[in-house]
Structure 1
Amino acid sequence: MNDTARRLVLIDGSSYLYRAFHALPPLSNDDGEPTGALFGVVNMLRATLKEKPDYVAFVVDAPGKTFRDELYPEYKANRPPMPDELRAQVQPMCEIVEALGMPILRVPGVEADDVIGTLAVQAAGDGIDVTISTSDKDFAQLVRPNGDGDGGGIALVNTMSGSRMDSEQAVIDKFGVRPGQIVDYLALMGDTVDNVPGVHKCGPKTAAKWLAEYDSLDGVIAHAGAIKGKIGDNLREALDRLPLNRTLVTIRTDVELEQGPAALALREAHNDALRALYTRYGFKQALKEIGGTGPEQDGAQQARAEQAGMRNTAAGYARTTAADDAELDPALAAAGSYDCVTTQAQLDDWIGRLRAAEEFAFDCETDSLDPMRANLVGLSFSTEPGAACYIPLAHDYPGAPAQLDRDAVLDALRPLLSDPQRRKLGQHGKYDLHVLRRHGVEVRGYADDTMLESFVYNATASRHDMDSLAKRYLGYDTVKYADVAGKGAKAIPFSQVALDDATGYAAEDADVTLRLHRVLAPKLAAVDGLERVYRDIEMPLVKVLERIEANGVMVDGDELRRQSAKLGRRMLAAQQKATELAGRSFNLDSPKQLGALLFDELKLPALVKTPKGQPSTNEEALEAIADQHELPRVILEYRGLAKLRSTYTDKLPEMVNPDTGRVHTSYHQAGAATGRLASSDPNLQNIPIRTEDGRRIRTAFVAPPGRKIVACDYSQIELRIMAHLSGDEGLVNAFASGADIHRATAAEVFGKTIDAVDGNERRAAKAINFGLMYGMSAFGLAKQLGVSRGEAQDYIALYFSRYPGVRDFMERTREQAREQGYVETVFGRRLYLEQIHARNQGLRAGAERAAINAPMQGTAADIIKRAMIDVDAWLSGQADGKGAAPALMVLQVHDELVFEVEANFVETLVAEVSGRMSAAAELRVPLVVDCGIGDNWEEAH
């Protein structure tokens, strides 16, 4: 944008208001008037005014129908009416906008989008640079660069993310099509928000692909016959409505307006009116900006609102609130100065800096995301904010400058990296520890990880990747990997990136990591419980997980291939059975064909619907009608077999590392907000165990000759945690006596002795025990037990009458969540509940269920992590002088640890591990650990 050009900002007012309403909690002023949406709008408007535009307009939809409703009566038919709480804030919003000096535009018969589009095109034609403030993707059709004297540019600023699109390339990067193709792109995809149906199953990639090949919607329509497969059928079915779609999604730029862009000059603010409005609604920080003061109690509401804004990732208001402005240190958002180290003298200088530093951040650049196969391309270091270096080691593009020898550099750095007394920092550093270990450097003294600092500080506030954290906590926009290496088919390996570009990207990684630590460490230190979770659990676990991942687990590829063959034969048999039941052949993998068969031909009831109101054929839908016809059950069997085959028996042999002969999963600490570990590449947490076929997959996880697999599993750990947290005497006594908890619960609920409880009663008690822990309703319990809702409600009432401490715990926890906005585990980990005050009853109920479950699931996660740390330390002490250990920890799955153990060491390991796992927490009830031994995981489990 030309800084000397006149500038017009067009604000999509309706989207501002709705976004603020749904993003922030239901705040109110001292008189009980709702203020949440107003607070969000005011902060966004204040940010806009700081840019000092020459012209501005706040554009909102006028009441009544528009020309689109006349063309298509179903247009926006699925939108709910405006909530009363939001409606009450519309007029105050308009009063604030006007007092700020911004014109408000409403034009009957057209939408705000059309008014914005018309003004944007007119202004650009007059040489005015236009910014449209919105997150509506439809506006991408208007983007045009600055004309350098031949006209102004039209740019979009996303009010959610702060991103900007101001060129054709920016639109292409975002959507894969040019601005002139956006209308056709939207017509093909449709718009569920506006109830405009597109081509079924045509998503962004498909729409962009077609337009790349045929240039326009007309071109796609002309070549519809050439598009193969089911998607081609879907396109041909939609041909008649596509021209209408194009009209509906086209933003008009020819609306007759009473005033043009030149009449939208920003007026002087009416500060007296603003003072009155800000005082009335409790906006203390905004009031200070105009020299006003408000009642002291308003500050508490302002602080709550700003804290909520910082926590709410959906809105991204944290970048515009005064609270964040106050917290962000401008020095930590400034550009850094980076060195590219290609000479011995430069390397010696930086080694001297590293030796002198109290702590330093480091990062590896590689040629793969798989740490067990990645080759080191370069290293970066930072010793203070704004100062960093990149040491290229393997850039091999034509004409690349000479670089230092990799082995020599690693030898020079090894004393620093291996010194446990020198504090090292990283961002998701477990990856870097793997890479350096495989290149001969064992990193010790890994003291802090900014991903984990962020995760422990607030697991739900943000994503925990470096780019997101830099934006949130530093106000800093990082160089993205795609900026230097490209993306998609045009991406190049990092070894091909020019050194100047590589230095700017890689050195920044280390620099930003250090900056983030300087911000996040004090935040954690301010909350004693969180600091302990971070220091005592998460950071020690990094090295433990690195060792487990490096150990890997041996799988029997021949056994998996045999299972694949058997699954394939059974899938074929299921297909044949389905064809027989249907009386004709059909594609079992086609939801459309299956839906037509089940609901149109067989006339089975459609008990489950898709979000669009169509009959669903998902697993829940088929289960719901499986008692009415044999075919749904056969389809479910086929799908289960197909999933096992594609996910495990076919895939796992391909994932064996050729260097180690083992499968190496990756564990993620910053995954589930409750603290539970997640697993990927492959995901070994989700191998199904409720079916014989699923359990059979575990037989392929084996021990090498002379060794055994030992599996140690906590018994009913979350129920035991419930007994501890609730302090319920009945539950505590049942666990203390060693009784079967489900049988003991059945005896209490049904008024019998334990010996008299039958299998069905125990099953019902088990469903109640686990169901209530996960917030199951009487309806859900009735469905699971196959009883009436009234009978299920009676069971729940009986349960609470026998275990009143559980009911009291649940009520206390809900109240704590409502008052504090978070709940805690036994060890102090917090889970923030953003929807605990949601207006939507479903969202609020979900948050209340999470409030009850999170302390139990999170405490269970903390306990097994503590056990892993203790067991790992013990195992490390058993290694011989060459580092060989008689046992390896190879898997962690939920509440279970799996080991590969020398046969003569099994008895020792079982005694030590079960004792250490039992001692990982001091609860009111004993922690019981069950251990199994076998030649494979299934035998041991």
Structure 2
Amino acid sequence: MPRLVLIDGSSYLYRAFHALPPLTNAEGEPTGALFGVVNMLRATLKEAPDYAAFVVDAPGRTFRDDLYPEYKANRAEMPQELRAQVQPMCEIVAALGFPILREAGVEADDVIGTLALAAAAQGIEVTVSTGDKDFAQLVRPGLRLVNTMTGSVLDDAGVMEKFGVPPARIVDLLALMGDSVDNIPGVEKCGPKTAAKWLTAYGDLDGVIAAAPDMKGKIGENLRAALPRLGLNRTLVTIRTDVPLAFGPTDLALRPRDAGTLRGLYARYGFTQALRELDGGTAADAAAEGTLRNTAAGYARSGAAPAEAPDPALGGKGEYECVTAPEALAAWVERLRAAPLFAFDVETDALDALRARLVGLSFSVEPGRACYVPLLHDYPGCQPQLDVETVLGMLRPVLEDPAVAKVGQHGKYDLHVLRRYGIAVRGYAHDTMLQSFVLNSTASRHDMDSLAARYLGYTTTRYEDVCGKGAKQIPFSQVELEHATGYAAEDADVTLRLHRALHPRLEAEPALLSVYTDIEMPLVEVLARIEANGVLVDADELRRQSHDLALRMHEAEQRAHALAGRPFSLESPKQLQAILFDELGLPALVKTPKGQPSTNEDALEAIADQHDLPRLILEYRGLAKLRGTYTDKLPNSINPDTGRVHTSYHQAGAATGRLSSSDPNLQNIPIRTEDGRRIRRAFVAPPGRRIVACDYSQIELRIMAHLSEDPGLVRAFEGGVDVHRATAAEVFGAGAPEAVTADQRRAAKAINFGLMYGMSAFGLARQLGIARGEAQDYIALYFARYPGVRDFMERTREQARERGYVETVFGRRLYLNDIASRNQGLRAGAERAAINAPMQGTAADIIKRAMIEVDAWLAGQGGRAAMIMQVHDELVFEADEAFVPELVQEVGRRMQAAATLRVPLVVDAGVGGNWDEAH
């Protein structure tokens, strides 16, 4: 069946402009929107449609302006940065061979609607490429919507799922809702859910209008008030499908591309990947080299990380083999041994690597060629598979050979699974998730699907595609071998291709390559060992704590009812709003996005000094969070095979490089409250062992002293004095640190840490309970005493604006896409991140380096101690009692040697029968 693609050019230009950072080329010309549109067009061309058109609005009034003079009256003028990209966009579109359509008196939507229905009537399959919800009214068999920016597809079922009404009722839905973008007022307070509910109940817009007199409540009043304009709304939102056109769908064949024009435009605007694709990856490199270098500089000046155009080299699906015979497996083992590097992946029946069964393995030795070795597929009629022990016996020598390099995607999971099956993988040399993360932690998600789309221009087969989703999802062991092979072998294939795409980029950046090879890759196996070690948890103690928390929650609830004068649900925001703001008359200082009084934590904190009830609700919520997150859940996290809790650490989680953990999350257990410390008491050592906690002291402040080179801060740390007392003595003129009061030290501590996190005078005033002017005076005094800190902060902001990123001491980068944003709030947030990220990131790098060294030392200690947790700046161990003194000394020495700063690193150590006692 022939295919027609109609591209909503105006929509995509605006969406690309707002979605992408403000990129520029070497000459400073804006290119962000242009870059986005060009990549969408290239993706469309790869699908080889029979007919296509790029449709844009013509200048001048349309029939909708005549019907409703206020139509789109609230739209701001096109930003100059966007206007400058319209002409080059049209030049590139034309050079690519797309017909460009503009029709006076109507909108691009109407042209698309007319062509789409005409084509569908002629048996042509139609795709409308847009992100505009209005087009959902056109959907029908043979006509679908594709949002190229997100990859989402809307057919009949998709429209129903997304909007709650079929395509035939979309016009009615839009008429009721109105459209703020086009300045069409709908029924006040009527959102998509309310509109869909009405249309379901009353059939169509006319049915809703007929039912309006009997509608109850405020929403009924709003509907009746809007009745006079609903008919006009319906006309305005209806896409015309009868526009007289001098051409039809079959007149829209693509023209041959104008390679010469494209080459010049791509080079001018710095579209390196598009240029490489145009010339088959070989020509124009020498001619464009200077331009491409300058383009990178242009990106840096714009404050954005260089965007990546997809690599077209991947092409279609590879050749994938299902291995079910010993001879075939033996041949693959030889290929693996002979390869300079191979990719591997495991398929299992569960997400928990410490409990999952191994269902199969996949391998790839060259792009486009991979195999899948099924082991435990068990659906009816499944063909025989090789025995697990036979397969692992044949694979063990090559998997455990450190001289044979391997690459994986989030390979820590695979290492866990294979370890449980008796294979200790060695030679794990590369991980594509970590390559992407080190290259640019904020550019993309780092899962395989996202990386393949970004760097390879390739859409992978998703797990849901072969296993289904929701209640109908089946385990991978029940997937037919043909489909399982296509999915699993593709994982290995794409992993190898990603490595080939990503590793050269790291090699081009020596500092980033060092972060990857010296920190992130060695850490993979360290974290795998920590996770496998796990931590012993006293379930009975947690159950006692849960019982106590439940009693205290009940008591808090009863006190809250007494304060309110009646029973109510402390879990219900609506009831809380009524109690706090209607009945007690407290001021609503924080609002929800919809303008309602908020009852979130900030809102309650803001009014906690005006009545006891907000504070009591915060207390109740704190208890409920501890119970729901920890004391109730931790016992259920105990692995039945090991009797321990095994968290999962994430290297590619926090953009600054800090580790995070989940299932369970051990990073957020409170330490400053008695209840949080009680939870830590449930983390215990077995008989004959002790818990040892080694913690960096004030590491981020020490990094600030190193980076700022401020003499006062450096002197304080070199002298081993309490830096908060030293700061208080400087800021408040107390003389010697010993003369500083407790309140002065508390204020100095708030300033020391607050400035690192970009705290304003308002935030400091709120934290200390003082006037904003007084807080501003404190900050001014601080900078007067520590001018090096002020200079560092300003220098860092300026460097971030110039380069688009900041770096840690070890060269890790954090790109700041909003550092040149037109939005002041986004820009201010990026500036705060620019100051904080070098300290947080350097602290993360330091403890990772320490973990690697400590782990290597522990390997030779015969199991006398094990690293069992990493939490913020702390390493936690379980050790034989007699070994504790040596452990404390050796771990402390290695943690202090993990970095050489201008001030000493200090490590505090504690020992106890449980984690709390070790502090």
Aligned-residue offset at 1:256 = 5.8
Q: Deviations over 1:234-283 (max 9, x none)?
A: 99999989999997799524466353762985798999998999699867
Structure 1 counterpart of 2:425, from 435, 443, 448: 443
What's the secondary structure of 2:669's corresponding residue?
coil
Asked if the contact 1:608/1:621 (under 8 Å) is kept, the reply is: yes
The separation in 1 between residues aligned to 2:263 and 2:418, in whole angstroms, is: 62
Specify whether residues 389 and 199 from structure 1 end up closer, same or farther in structure 2 by C-alpha distance, changes over 3 A only: farther
What's the secondary structure of 1:937's corresponding residue?
coil
Match of 2:878 in 1: 900
Match of 1:699 in 2: 681
What's the secondary structure of 2:471's corresponding residue?
helix
Match of 1:788 in 2: 771
Q: Which amino acid aligns with 2:243?
A: L
Asked if the contact 1:9/1:132 (under 8 Å) is kept, the reply is: yes
Q: Which amino acid aligns with 1:25?
A: P
Specify whether residues 692 and 284 from structure 1 end up closer, same or farther in structure 2 by C-alpha distance, changes over 3 A only: closer
Specify whether residues 776 and 198 from structure 1 end up closer, same or farther in structure 2 by C-alpha distance, changes over 3 A only: farther
CA RMSD of aligned residues (A): 4.2
Structure 2 counterpart of 1:81, from 72, 76, 79: 76
1:134 aligns with 2:116: no
1:262 aligns with 2:248: yes
Match of 1:835 in 2: 818
Asked if the contact 2:33/2:82 (under 8 Å) is kept, the reply is: no
What's the secondary structure of 1:939's corresponding residue?
coil
Specify whether residues 596 and 257 from structure 1 end up closer, same or farther in structure 2 by C-alpha distance, changes over 3 A only: farther
Aligned-residue offset at 1:857 = 0.4
Structure 1 counterpart of 2:394, from 403, 407, 412: 412
Asked if the contact 2:705/2:902 (under 8 Å) is kept, the reply is: yes
The separation in 2 between residues aligned to 1:384 and 1:329, in whole angstroms, is: 17
Asked if the contact 1:29/1:280 (under 8 Å) is kept, the reply is: no
Match of 1:463 in 2: 445
Structure 2 counterpart of 1:554, from 536, 542, 548: 536
Match of 1:385 in 2: 367
Specify whether residues 547 and 721 from structure 1 end up closer, same or farther in structure 2 by C-alpha distance, changes over 3 A only: same
Asked if the contact 2:694/2:907 (under 8 Å) is kept, the reply is: yes
The gaps in structure 2 that reach 5 residues or longer are 209-215
Asked if the contact 2:23/2:304 (under 8 Å) is kept, the reply is: no
Match of 2:828 in 1: 845
Structure 2 counterpart of 1:627, from 580, 591, 609: 609
TM-score, L = length of structure 1:
0.85
What's the secondary structure of 2:128's corresponding residue?
strand
The separation in 2 between residues aligned to 1:728 and 1:86, in whole angstroms, is: 41
Specify whether residues 669 and 187 from structure 1 end up closer, same or farther in structure 2 by C-alpha distance, changes over 3 A only: farther
Match of 1:19 in 2: 16
Match of 2:748 in 1: 765
What's the secondary structure of 1:686's corresponding residue?
coil
Aligned-residue offset at 1:838 = 0.9
Q: Which amino acid aligns with 1:160?
A: M
Aligned-residue offset at 1:144 = 3.2
Structure 1 counterpart of 2:238, from 237, 252, 258: 252
Q: Which amino acid aligns with 2:843?
A: A
Asked if the contact 2:186/2:226 (under 8 Å) is kept, the reply is: no
Aligned-residue offset at 1:200 = 9.5
Match of 2:780 in 1: 797
Aligned-residue offset at 1:739 = 0.4
Asked if the contact 2:343/2:364 (under 8 Å) is kept, the reply is: yes
- Relative contact order: is structure 1 or structure 2 higher (C-alpha 8 Å, sep ≥ 6)? 2
Asked if the contact 2:323/2:371 (under 8 Å) is kept, the reply is: yes
Match of 1:150 in 2: none
378-387 vs 39-48, which moves further: 39-48
What's the secondary structure of 2:100's corresponding residue?
coil
Match of 1:121 in 2: 117
What's the secondary structure of 1:362's corresponding residue?
strand
Match of 2:325 in 1: 343
Structure 2 counterpart of 1:165, from 133, 143, 153: 153
Aligned-residue offset at 1:466 = 1.0
Asked if the contact 1:311/1:461 (under 8 Å) is kept, the reply is: no
The separation in 2 between residues aligned to 1:560 and 1:197, in whole angstroms, is: 53
Aligned-residue offset at 1:14 = 3.4
Q: Deviations over 1:197-235 (max 9, x none)?
A: 99999999x99xx99xx99454799xx9xxxxxxx9999
922-931 vs 135-144, which moves further: 135-144
Aligned-residue offset at 1:619 = 0.3
Asked if the contact 1:484/1:501 (under 8 Å) is kept, the reply is: yes
Match of 2:620 in 1: 638
What's the secondary structure of 1:365's corresponding residue?
strand
Q: Which amino acid aligns with 1:24?
A: P
What's the secondary structure of 2:320's corresponding residue?
strand
The separation in 2 between residues aligned to 1:474 and 1:761, in whole angstroms, is: 57
Q: Deviations over 1:542-562 (max 9, x none)?
A: 111111101111111111111
Q: Deviations over 1:861-916 (max 9, x none)?
A: 0000011111111111001xxxxx11111110010111111111111111111111
Q: Deviations over 1:550-592 (max 9, x none)?
A: 1111111111111111111111111111111111222211112
Match of 1:931 in 2: 909
Specify whether residues 670 and 273 from structure 1 end up closer, same or farther in structure 2 by C-alpha distance, changes over 3 A only: closer
Asked if the contact 1:309/1:318 (under 8 Å) is kept, the reply is: no
Matches within 5 A, 1:691-840: 691-753=673-735, 754-840=737-823
The separation in 2 between residues aligned to 1:848 and 1:359, in whole angstroms, is: 42
Q: Which amino acid aligns with 2:762?
A: F
Aligned-residue offset at 1:329 = 5.4
Match of 1:229 in 2: none
Structure 2 counterpart of 1:671, from 617, 631, 653: 653
The separation in 2 between residues aligned to 1:917 and 1:722, in whole angstroms, is: 18
Matches within 5 A, 1:441-520: 441-520=423-502
Aligned-residue offset at 1:772 = 0.9
Structure 1 counterpart of 2:861, from 878, 882, 893: 878
Asked if the contact 1:713/1:930 (under 8 Å) is kept, the reply is: yes
Matches within 5 A, 1:36-51: 36-38=32-34, 40-41=36-37, 44=40
Q: Which amino acid aligns with 1:801?
A: A
The separation in 2 between residues aligned to 1:39 and 1:736, in whole angstroms, is: 51
Asked if the contact 2:303/2:801 (under 8 Å) is kept, the reply is: no
What's the secondary structure of 2:373's corresponding residue?
strand
The separation in 2 between residues aligned to 1:349 and 1:267, in whole angstroms, is: 47
Task: Give aligned pairs, total.
Answer: 897
Specify whether residues 553 and 501 from structure 1 end up closer, same or farther in structure 2 by C-alpha distance, changes over 3 A only: same
Asked if the contact 1:771/1:781 (under 8 Å) is kept, the reply is: yes
The separation in 1 between residues aligned to 2:634 and 2:576, in whole angstroms, is: 30
Match of 1:156 in 2: 145
Asked if the contact 2:11/2:131 (under 8 Å) is kept, the reply is: no
Aligned-residue offset at 1:133 = 1.8
The separation in 1 between residues aligned to 2:573 and 2:175, in whole angstroms, is: 24
Structure 1 counterpart of 2:6, from 3, 9, 14: 9
Q: Deviations over 1:807-847 (max 9, x none)?
A: 11112211211111111111111111111111111111111
Q: Deviations over 1:113-155 (max 9, x none)?
A: 465445423442344443322123453443334xxxxxxx323
Asked if the contact 1:114/1:251 (under 8 Å) is kept, the reply is: no
TM-score, L = length of structure 2:
0.87
Specify whether residues 681 and 334 from structure 1 end up closer, same or farther in structure 2 by C-alpha distance, changes over 3 A only: same
The separation in 2 between residues aligned to 1:914 and 1:276, in whole angstroms, is: 59
Specify whether residues 76 and 790 from structure 1 end up closer, same or farther in structure 2 by C-alpha distance, changes over 3 A only: farther
Q: Which amino acid aligns with 2:809?
A: V
Aligned-residue offset at 1:613 = 2.2
Q: Deviations over 1:441-481 (max 9, x none)?
A: 11111111111111111111221111111122222221111
What's the secondary structure of 1:544's corresponding residue?
helix
Indicate the percent of aligned positions where both proteins have the same amino acid. 62
Asked if the contact 2:530/2:869 (under 8 Å) is kept, the reply is: yes
Asked if the contact 1:58/1:97 (under 8 Å) is kept, the reply is: no
Q: Deviations over 1:702-751 (max 9, x none)?
A: 11112111111110000000111111111111001000000101111112
What's the secondary structure of 2:690's corresponding residue?
strand
85-94 vs 661-670, which moves further: 85-94
Q: Deviations over 1:296-342 (max 9, x none)?
A: 997666555679999779xxx744xxxx5xxx352x33421111111
